Amino acid sequence: MPFDDLFGNERIKHILTSYLRNNVMPSSMIFTGPGSTDLLLFAVAFAKAVNCENCREDFCDACCNCSEIEREIFLDLKILAPDGQQYKKEQITFLIEDNYIKPLKGEKKINILTEAHKMNENSANTFLKVLEEPAQDNIFILLTTNMNALLPTIKSRCQILKFSPQSRAEIKKYLVKQGYDPEKARLMSYLCQSNLERILMVDFDEFMEKRAKILSALKKLINGVGVEDILLDLYQKSRSREKFIEYFRQLVNLISLMLRDIMILKIDKSNKNLINIDYRDDLMSLGEYITIDKVLFLIKKMELLLRDIQRNLNTKVLTLEFIKSYTSKRGT
Ligand SMILES: [Zn+2]
């Protein structure tokens, strides 16, 4: 039952298996959600289920077709990625030319376009031709973590499947199953904001080190020393905008979780609902320097900052504005 082996998103599994059961499949779909690894795992699983020699609503992961798909050598499977920053027009033209050629081995040809939002208008308009006249044996699966960047004309021609992030409890359970001790699993499920892809990339020791740095950043922020040096350090370490956003997301997330703990400690000194249990004493003493209003103000500010950065606004300007607005509020 390999669909069962995929982590989370039961609703999506249900939709995909019902397509298979009824043998009515959309010729083009968009898989969208927070983690690109999840989207690709599901798309490849669906490619197996469509072409599996042993199962109808699922895949065996053992037959020749399943194992060729797993190794990405199956003749009727294409997994495309942007050539450089964006899809090249030739990549899309190739799909059009290939559209009417029958499958060579399997039931249907599966074309998976990763990072589908990285099509410029020209490529997207070319791609529309395939969507408008889909060949019977061809299925297109567009994967994207950024639905807003897809052309409305493309979206309107595809079945859209929205993936949801996994719950923290699901993630903790998964990590414990992978051999993590429960306390580590608990902390990591908070860090990764319910995103399996991020969890799989995390080195736990590195994470603990980062957390210690963030505690010192928070001390500086609360004491009004400023966090410019930390942000500068982040800029230098991040080789790309995407990397910077990822670091920044972690910074905002961890600071917010610590601020949340400070607030809890101000109201109730028990450890009951604390996330950063090991930092209890530090957070308790930080709480003496900050009012609940200021904690709430900071959490809200950081969330807004992250939202704006994700909307592709100018990172540097926003960060400087944040520092300015915080310092002007200091002492209030
Ligand atoms: Zn199979």
> How much distance in Å is there from the Cα of 183 to the middle of ligand 1?
38
Domain ranges of the chain: 2-162, 167-201, 203-329
Between residues 93 and 173, the one the model is more confident about: 93
CA of 48 to the centre of ligand 1 (A): 7
**Residue 49 near residue 57, CB atoms below 8 Å:** yes
pLDDT digits (tens, 9 = 90+) for 107-125: 999 999 999 999 988 889 8
d(CA 185, CA 187): 6
Token pair for residue 115?
Answer: 């990072």
Q: What CATH number does domain 203-329 carry, 2.40.110.10, 1.20.272.10, 1.10.150.120, 3.40.50.1400?
A: 1.20.272.10
For the ranges 25-29, 76-80, 284-288, 312-316, the lowest mean pLDDT is seen at 312-316
Q: What is the distance in A from the centroid of ligand 1 to the CA of 51?
A: 7
CA of 43 to the centre of ligand 1 (A): 15
- Between the CA of 139 and the centroid of ligand 1 the distance, in Å, is 18
Q: Do domains 2-162 and 203-329 have the same CATH topology?
A: no
Q: Which of 244, 218, 220 is nearest to 232 (CA)?
A: 244
What separation in Å is there between the alpha carbon of 14 and the centre of ligand 1?
19
112 C-alpha vs ligand 1 centroid, how far in Å? 19
What is the mean pLDDT of the segment spanning 280-300? Answer: 86
Instruction: Determine the distance separating the centroid of ligand 1 and the alpha carbon of 177, expressed in angstroms.
Output: 26
Q: How many angstroms separate the alpha carbon of residue 69 from the centre of ligand 1?
A: 9
The CA–CA distances, whole Å, from 275 to 155, 224, 253 equal: 40, 24, 12
SS3 134: coil
Q: How confident is the model at residue 278 (pLDDT cuts 50, 70, 90)?
A: confident
Instruction: Measure 60 CA to ligand 1 centroid, in angstroms.
Output: 4
Query: What is the rounded distance in angstroms from the CA atom of residue 267 to the CA atom of residue 2?
Result: 47
- How many whole angstroms separate alpha carbon 158 and alpha carbon 29? 5
Cα separation, 238 vs 247, whole angstroms: 8
- Packed helices 121-132 and 89-98: angle between N→C axes, nearest 10 degrees: 10
Tell me the torsion sign for CA atoms 40, 73, 178, 243: negative
The residue with greater pLDDT, 196 or 51, is: 51
Predicted confidence band at 331 (pLDDT cuts at 50, 70, 90)? very low
Mind listing the pLDDT tens digit for each residue in 146-182? Answer: 999 999 999 999 999 999 877 777 778 878 877 888 8
Superfamily classification of domain 2-162: P-loop containing nucleotide triphosphate hydrolases (3.40.50.300)
Residue 96 alpha carbon to ligand 1 centre in Å: 28
pTM recorded for the entire structure: 0.63
Label residue 330 by pLDDT band (50, 70, 90). Answer: very low
Exposed, middle or buried by CB within 10 Å (0-12, 13-18, 19+), for 314? exposed
- Listed as own residue / partner, the contacts of 62-68 with beta carbons closer than 8 Å and 24 or more positions apart are 65/105, 65/106
Compute the average pLDDT of residues 142-147: 94
Helix (H, G, I), strand (E, B) or coil at 140: strand
Query: Cα–Cα distance between 198 and 206 in angstroms, integer?
Result: 13
Report CA(64)–ligand 1 centroid distance (Å).
7
What pLDDT is stored for residue 77 in this prediction? 96
Average pLDDT over residues 14-31: 94
Compute, in angstroms, the gap from residue 80 CA to the centroid of ligand 1.
Answer: 23
With pLDDT > 70 as the criterion, what percentage of the chain qualifies?
83
Res 332: pLDDT: 40
Q: 10 Å Cβ neighbour count for 235?
A: 13
Distance (angstroms) between ligand 1 centre and the Cα of 103 equals 17
Average pLDDT over residues 213-241: 70
State the pLDDT at residue 181. 85
Q: What pLDDT does residue 321 have?
A: 66
pLDDT at 327: 55
Task: Identify the H or E element spanning 111.
Answer: strand 109-113
pLDDT of residue 96: 85
**Pick from 84-93, 124-133, 262-271: least confident:** 262-271
**Cα(40) to centroid(ligand 1), Å:** 18
Measure 16 CA to ligand 1 centroid, in angstroms.
Answer: 16
Mean pLDDT score of the chain: 83
The alpha carbon of 10 and the centre of ligand 1 are apart by a number of angstroms equal to 21
List the helix and strand counts (H, then E) for the chain.
16, 5
Position 308 pLDDT exceeds 90:
no
